[in-house]
Structure 1
Amino acid sequence: MSSPARPETDSRRIAQLALPALVVLAAEPLYVLVDTAVVGHLGPVPLAAVAVSGTVMSVAVWLGTLMAYGTTGRAARRFGAGDREAAVAEGVQASWTALAVGVLLALLAQPLAGPLAQTLSGDPATAEAAAGWLRVASLGAPGLLLAAAGNGWMRGVQDTRRPLFFVLGANVLSAVLCPLLVYPVGWGLTGSAIANVVAQSVSGFLFLYALVRETRYLRPSPHIIGQQLRVGRDLLIRGAAFQACFLSATAVASRFGVESVGAHQIALQLWFFSALALDAVAIAAQSLVGAALGAGSAAGAIAVARKVTIAGGIAGVVFALLAAAGSDAIPGWFTPDPGVHDQAALVWPWFIGLMPFAGVVYALDGVLIGAGDIRFLRNITLAAALLGFLPAIWIAYFFDLGLGGVWAGLALLILIRFVTIVWRWRSGRWAVVGVQR
């Protein structure tokens, strides 16, 4: 066993981990924008088909995020304890799970693509095109999930530079291939799906190659996989609670009219984009907190938590100021409709006011995930959803409170999580040293 890793808690180290992670997080959404722009020139049916089938593929992306987060904390503890080999072993077992789940998704997509596309689209032409795209694009699921597992263990050993090159390089390759396959080669919508598969497969192969070079112990371990699945279960339940909240918010907003749901969609997508950027701080927190606790330093973990909480709060304030400065212009980037602009004006004060709280919450999410305190995160998310958000959102619907009522429900979700997660942070109960079993 190598000597214990000395956890670094300075702000420069947080930035060194967070900035490459931010680029990795942004690479996939940016590629989706390129893909959408390319396909959009084929006509409305192919564009609608990508929207429908992309919604189904987002399930694989979500599973990948859960896998990466679950692996990071466990690998970081072992790395902090000076056992890099055990940290990499977490990546080996996560990769076996990723490969199995990815192959299963690719196989299930072949018979289920048609019924799923028909259910989501309702239009026969769109459903047929979406099913064809999904059958091809699903073949990239194993690579996508292998890349997620690779990101997880590499973040755990505080290596965010190689994932930057692996993910960014694969997405740049695919962004070049997509227009070539769609237009000059003439494969149309199928060319878009093949470009997706190429990006995900290349990225997955690069992470797998890096893993093979790190260790000779590549056999599956049911015991470790079982431990990882228990962590993944709690993250899955937590994520499902968020999905239920956001789907309910969109469903209720749509009851208030086209302008309301349009304004809600604009604000919600901007919220997701902000969350993406703030997650980079959370990823740094996962790695550094896990390493500090694995090294037996509760004080080091608490110091990291304090610094990333400040960083998250500052980032949230910056986003709030940018949103406030662009309150008149930003809705116009998405639509010229004055009715949507009027509804967006109702949402904007909520959006601005919540952002600093969200910055702190996302940072502390990373702290507690890194500490392995995932059961607590699961419980408070369920409580905030079931006791706060969902009752508030349906009250807004029944009493016709409009879009302001919808975002008041979202505010309640954030504020309940803010109060409880800050309390947990201040209590110090999460800072349990040693290697988790």
Structure 2
Amino acid sequence: MNRTILKLAIPNIISNLSVPLLGVVDTALVGHLDEVYYLGALAVGGMIFNFLFWGFGFLRMGTTGITAQEYGARNRQSMMMTMARVQLIAWSFGLAIILMQTPLIRFSLWIIESSEEVAHFTQVYYDIRIYTAPAMLALYGLQGWFLGMQNAKYPMIITIVHNLLNIVLNIFFIQVMDMHVDGVAWGTLISTWLALGLGVWLFFRKYKRYTGHYKQSELVNRDELKRYFSVNRDIFIRTLCLIFTFSFFTAKSAAQGDLVLAANTILLQLWMVASYGIDGFAYAAESLIGRFKGGNNSEKLRKAVYYNLGWGLFLGVTGSLIYLLFDEAILFLFTDKTDVIALAMSVMIWTILAPLVSSFCYILDGVFIGATETAPMRNTMLIATFAIFLPAYYAGNSLFGVHGLWVAMVLFMVTRGAALGFYLPGRILDIEN
């Protein structure tokens, strides 16, 4: 089982770590520009696109679980039609986002309390990057389908190429062309469309024979669409809560000034680095749990749950130790501004704890996605967001200042893991397929 997990997890970890690597490079590039409001604009702009794109994360997560179950059942037509439907949905939503770009940015800037300079450069960033929407959503669906097919190699290739291209282009636009957040946006736009082209080529390279199982009459199959959206409705609600929490965190950081926003932006990047590493095993759990559920193999399903949880905990402990030992040195990679580093160091303890306390909820997310048991994910996220995170923030902010934000975030993660653990026996471990 360990060998099977590592075969799926290692490519996922490698590809996942290239995602925060991009964020690290972008933050470092912009963090070394003359003005701190560029970093604030990158944070706010990134938050807006996280809200837009993460909300459609179900295009990857829901597709993985459903495809993995069809793979376990060896139903090629259902595998192919799942791919076709998710692409139809992805392109429809992507084009809709572009059509609604003006009201979306006006609403976003109205909600977020930021300085005039941050708001201006956020608009500059947004106006360019918005055109990545169709390609980004199509990539979500494509990569989710590959993972469901037990193929972690192709998502790794796509993600690494995508992010390396993005990094190279961002360095070129900022260092050579003397641009700022607009350079980051152009680099993201170009690299995203090129990555989609690569993904399509890889699909036809290995899975062209599956296109023979495509049936136009089944594309808009009411029962299958109902099943897809039933699973993904819960994932969508769960993801909206996650986006809300991180967006609220960024907005409240911005409200405390550009210095707090800059420091918290850097620390959130470290949270992302840890989460993407652990998510390698969460993705492996998605693929394997779906496969074993589709193949009616309860014994291997339970074993996959326990083994992935063990690997997630190991990575969580490792990540916390790295942050503990190299805290200040890591911060200097992001910025040379001593006031930003001093503020970040004053609340670094919460980032040190992050990989350890978050590892359980990341892995359990993968378990429940693979099993398409999405209602518990929805319920636990609603509890963590509205019963824990928000009350903790409002109770702690007046007492602890910047620390109050981070305490609320840590409690949010702990609650997610504990609540999913409560559901685990009845919904996953004790079920005979």
| AA aligned opposite 1:107 | L
| AA aligned opposite 1:22 | I
Aligned-residue sequence identity (percent) comes to: 24
* Number of the residue aligned with 1:344: 345
Distance 1:397 1:254, change over 3 A: farther
* Number of the residue aligned with 2:131: 139
Distance 1:403 1:88, change over 3 A: same
State yes or no: 1:153 paired with 2:149. no
Any idea what the Cα deviations from partners look like across 1:40-78, whole Å, max 9, x if unmatched? Answer: 888758776655544433334313433101110111111
Q: Report 1 or 2 for greater relative contact order, CA contacts < 8 Å, sequence distance ≥ 6.
A: 2
Distance 1:236 1:331, change over 3 A: same
State yes or no: 1:22 paired with 2:13. yes
TM (norm. structure 1) is 0.82
Distance 1:162 1:416, change over 3 A: closer
1:194-343 matches, within 5 Å, as 194-211=186-203, 213=208, 214-216=210-212, 217=214, 219=216, 220-223=219-222, 224-250=224-250, 264-327=264-327, 329-333=329-333, 334=335, 337=338, 341=342
* Number of the residue aligned with 1:6: none
Distance 1:218 1:204, change over 3 A: farther
Q: Distance in 1 between matches of 2:179 and 2:258?
A: 35
State yes or no: 1:355 paired with 2:355. yes
State yes or no: 1:91 paired with 2:78. no
How many pairs were matched up?
Answer: 422
Q: Distance in 1 between matches of 2:19 and 2:393?
A: 31
* Number of the residue aligned with 1:7: none
Q: Distance in 2 between matches of 1:402 and 1:122?
A: 18
Contact 2:20 2:272 in 1 (8 A): no
Distance 1:310 1:35, change over 3 A: closer
Distance 1:95 1:396, change over 3 A: same
Deviation at 1:310, TM superposition (A): 0.5
Contact 2:97 2:133 in 1 (8 A): yes
Q: Distance in 2 between matches of 1:292 and 1:389?
A: 35
Gaps of 5+ in 1: 1-9
1:74-113 matches, within 5 Å, as 74-109=66-101, 111-112=102-103
Q: Distance in 2 between matches of 1:375 and 1:76?
A: 19
| AA aligned opposite 1:422 | G
Contact 2:40 2:262 in 1 (8 A): no
Q: Distance in 1 between matches of 2:413 and 2:271?
A: 12
Deviation at 1:238, TM superposition (A): 1.3
Deviation at 1:88, TM superposition (A): 3.2
| AA aligned opposite 2:415 | I
Deviation at 1:379, TM superposition (A): 0.5
Deviation at 1:364, TM superposition (A): 1.5
1:181-196 matches, within 5 Å, as 193-196=185-188
1:420-435 matches, within 5 Å, as 420-427=419-426, 429=428, 432=431
State yes or no: 1:73 paired with 2:65. yes
Q: Distance in 2 between matches of 1:412 and 1:128?
A: 34
Contact 1:74 1:156 in 2 (8 A): yes
Deviation at 1:184, TM superposition (A): 7.2
* Number of the residue aligned with 1:394: 394
* Number of the residue aligned with 1:383: 383
* Number of the residue aligned with 1:419: 418
* Number of the residue aligned with 1:4: none
- After alignment, is 158-167 or 34-43 more displaced? 34-43
* Secondary structure, counterpart of 1:215 in structure 2: helix
Q: Distance in 2 between matches of 1:208 and 1:139?
A: 19
Cα RMSD (Å) of the superposition?
A: 3.6
Contact 2:62 2:235 in 1 (8 A): yes
